[in-house]
Structure 1
């Protein structure tokens, strides 16, 4: 599958496609999932946003049967426009089992350079079955708090607002642990007030035409929304696990996908 919006620079997409083909050939790996991460996939790009391609790769079964495992990350040269790197399947599965929301987000990215839908669906089903909501909630709360600790700016505020929106989405979907990736969807699929959604839409529109957002304050309605969601999410910090350990299920899925 492939899902590339018209807003992406065709030359940039061509370069990313080339890097993915080169990685597959030079490292002798299969890349069943390659997506955009970062502000473009999160729904609030700037005119000068770089391209953050993330991919999952799979080696042959024989290469996993070794006493000296290979490095579980493949990186391509980093520059001011492109940040393209990927994780090995075992790394992705173990992190999902621990409730790492980063890998789960890649599986839900709205921008797909190349992908095997069946592979994606298997990993999403695995995540839905084993991921602890509390672990995901803690992840997003900590991301927001970390960003709040930095020098305030409107650009940084987006990296606080999106985790807060993910926390609201989790609160509104008590039977799910895999939230959408992009900010507009998180808000539209939650009970966030209309003034919150409107203010976020206006701020996204401003960012889309502004290369460097200043240090001005975010709209008060959004600051109140963030504060409320972070306070409510503090409850995740003391929640105990409620699901069985996922190791056996992760092993079974790994063997099946590699085979």
Structure 2
């Protein structure tokens, strides 16, 4: 397992127990289970939820029925543990649409179960076929929605709201600078990939430290340089190159991977 230090052992054991319960109750095979959200992104608060995200595959017969089963498994949040998983068919379908979420889950620094052998294949598929501009548009859409929710009634911005726009903006910047690589999931390597000015790096590190000491809803000071960076980068997706259309080949490979997995 990678980096177990960020998750207390008793919490990890409880999460592993709940994942096993999901697999049994829903008759699915878990392919991977990882940390997402602020704990994986590198800027948790003391009261941050444990966002557990997983991929699963159902028995082959489940995909042959006339009535499609739900392609998401969710559990109510209990004791700050939030379990949410996608069917592998849904994950691959979103991957074909340049949704970067699956890519991020694959890169998560913390795993709760041993990855299925299909996960390296998914990672390779993501890297080989990802469209830099498609990813940039995905992140820009996330970031712009977050910017719209920045300000509270007094004109303050919570540290959490800064980060939910800043991380997508840095992802767009990283893609502009090196469109051959998927952006890192976690903030520190993402900051390096974005090649930021020292003053911006210092301000982000202060934000991370502030968020680590305050609750999720805690407010922070206004940082004009960061706000300007976010606004500019979220509007520069057209500068990220478009990969030549390989949709047909990509779709065929994703279909083959899905069929192989279901037939195992």
Q: TM-score, normalised by structure 2?
A: 0.89
Q: Which residue of 2 aligns with 1:64?
A: 63
Residues 185-194 or 93-102, more deviating: 185-194
Q: Is the 8 A contact 2:176 2:239 kept in 1?
A: no
Q: Which residue of 1 aligns with 2:224?
A: 220
Q: Which residue of 2 aligns with 1:49?
A: 48
Task: Tell me, in whole angstroms, the C-alpha distance in 1 between the residues paired with 2:216 and 2:34.
Answer: 25
**For each residue in 1:185-214, what CA deviation from the matched residue of structure 2 results, as whole angstroms up to 9, or x when unmatched?**
101223222222222112101111112554
Q: Is the 8 A contact 2:183 2:193 kept in 1?
A: no
Identify which of 244, 249, 261 aligns with 1:257: 261
Give 1:74 deviation, angstroms.
Answer: 1.1
Report the count of equivalent residues.
256
- Residue 114 of structure 1 aligns to a residue in which SS? coil
Alignment of 1:48-127 (within 5 A): 48-79=47-78, 81-116=80-115, 118-127=117-126
Q: Is the 8 A contact 2:173 2:233 kept in 1?
A: yes
Q: Which residue of 1 aligns with 2:233?
A: 229
1:14 lines up with 2:13 in the alignment: yes
- Residue 113 of structure 1 aligns to a residue in which SS? coil
- Residue 17 of structure 2 aligns to a residue in which SS? helix
Task: Tell me, in whole angstroms, the C-alpha distance in 2 between the residues paired with 1:208 and 1:182.
Answer: 15
Q: Which residue of 2 aligns with 1:23?
A: 22
Give 1:184 deviation, angstroms.
Answer: 1.1
Q: Flag the 1:76–1:122 CA change in 2: closer, same or farther, 3 A.
A: same
Task: Tell me, in whole angstroms, the C-alpha distance in 2 between the residues paired with 1:227 and 1:80.
Answer: 36
1:196 lines up with 2:195 in the alignment: no
Q: Which runs of 5+ in 1 are unaligned?
A: none
Task: Tell me, in whole angstroms, the C-alpha distance in 1 between the residues paired with 2:73 and 2:231.
Answer: 38
**For each residue in 1:169-197, what CA deviation from the matched residue of structure 2 results, as whole angstroms up to 9, or x when unmatched?**
11121223x22111111012232222222
Identify which of 184, 191, 206 aligns with 1:187: 191
Q: Which residue of 1 aligns with 2:154?
A: none
Q: Is the 8 A contact 1:54 1:86 kept in 2?
A: yes
Q: TM-score, normalised by structure 1?
A: 0.91
**Aligned-residue CA RMSD in angstroms?**
2.1
Q: Which residue of 2 aligns with 1:130?
A: 129
- Residue 117 of structure 2 aligns to a residue in which SS? helix
**For each residue in 1:196-241, what CA deviation from the matched residue of structure 2 results, as whole angstroms up to 9, or x when unmatched?**
22221121011111125544443233223212312322556x9686
Q: Which residue of 2 aligns with 1:159?
A: 164
Q: Which runs of 5+ in 2 are unaligned?
A: 152-156
Task: Tell me, in whole angstroms, the C-alpha distance in 2 between the residues paired with 1:174 and 1:239.
Answer: 9
1:244 lines up with 2:233 in the alignment: no
Give 1:41 deviation, angstroms.
Answer: 0.5
1:37 lines up with 2:30 in the alignment: no
Q: Which residue of 2 aligns with 1:149?
A: 148
Q: Is the 8 A contact 2:132 2:242 kept in 1?
A: no
Task: Tell me, in whole angstroms, the C-alpha distance in 2 between the residues paired with 1:195 and 1:86.
Answer: 39
Task: Tell me, in whole angstroms, the C-alpha distance in 2 between the residues paired with 1:15 and 1:42.
Answer: 22
Task: Tell me, in whole angstroms, the C-alpha distance in 2 between the residues paired with 1:121 and 1:194.
Answer: 35
Give 1:155 deviation, angstroms.
Answer: 1.9
